[in-house]
Amino acid sequence: MGPLPRTLELFYDVLSPYSWLAFEVLCRYKNIWNVSLQLRPTLIAGIMKDSGNQPPALLPRKALYMKNDVRLLGQHLQVPIHLPKDFFFVIFEKGSLTAMRFLTVVKLEHPELLEKVSRELWMRVWSRAAEKAGMSTGRARELLERVSTPQVKNQLKETTDAACRYGAFGLPVTVAHLDDETYMLFGSDRMELLAHLLGEKWLGPVPPAATARL
């Protein structure tokens, strides 16, 4: 009998393009490395407020860099990521509260669909996300009706607070639980370091054994 899988927690928000990049790489490796991947829908606005950080889009130079950076990383990691034309409206006006509450409901009621629904939200087909992930329209409507319930609000807040306790100041955050040590890694570009901490092989962003999902 081999060693027990190490627990990895991925805290993410669909408003964060870098969260999507980390999400896809970890999903590719979850059946290659000896790990148990736990997806944790989180509210990035809550983390920004708690840490005193600001979104990079607020600074013109960072915003310009991020647009090019996300495009290049998407190509490198083979994730079909394209920032919407109304990106700033999405960040500052629309936000992600409803989306992350919806994912919280999915995690509570249909955890087996959380990966697929999260991916579809990132693919920017929000109105079809649940249906494409294999959930009936009626069931999706029932879950949407629950996004404002105290249970869902509290669960999302608890998850966001947990990320803050680990020291998060943005997203994505991957938390690796290794024996008596806990490591918090920020960003989508720490996968080689994560492999080193796990004692696993890094096979590149698209490992040969990964099944194409996108």
**30-64 exposure pattern, b = at least 16 Cβ within 10 A, e = fewer:** beebebebebbbbbbbbbbeeeeeebbbeeeeeee
d(CA 111, CA 92): 29
Sequence-separated (6 or more) residues with CB below 8 Å from residue 81: 17, 20, 21, 70, 71, 73, 74, 122
Looking only at Cα atoms, what is the longest distance across the chain? 54
Known catalytic membership, residue 148:
no
DSSP structural state of residue 171: S
Strand 6-12 to strand 35-41: parallel, antiparallel, or no bridges (unpaired)? parallel
DSSP structural state of residue 182: E
Catalytic hit among 16, 19, 96, 188? 16
Q: Cite the active site residues.
A: 16
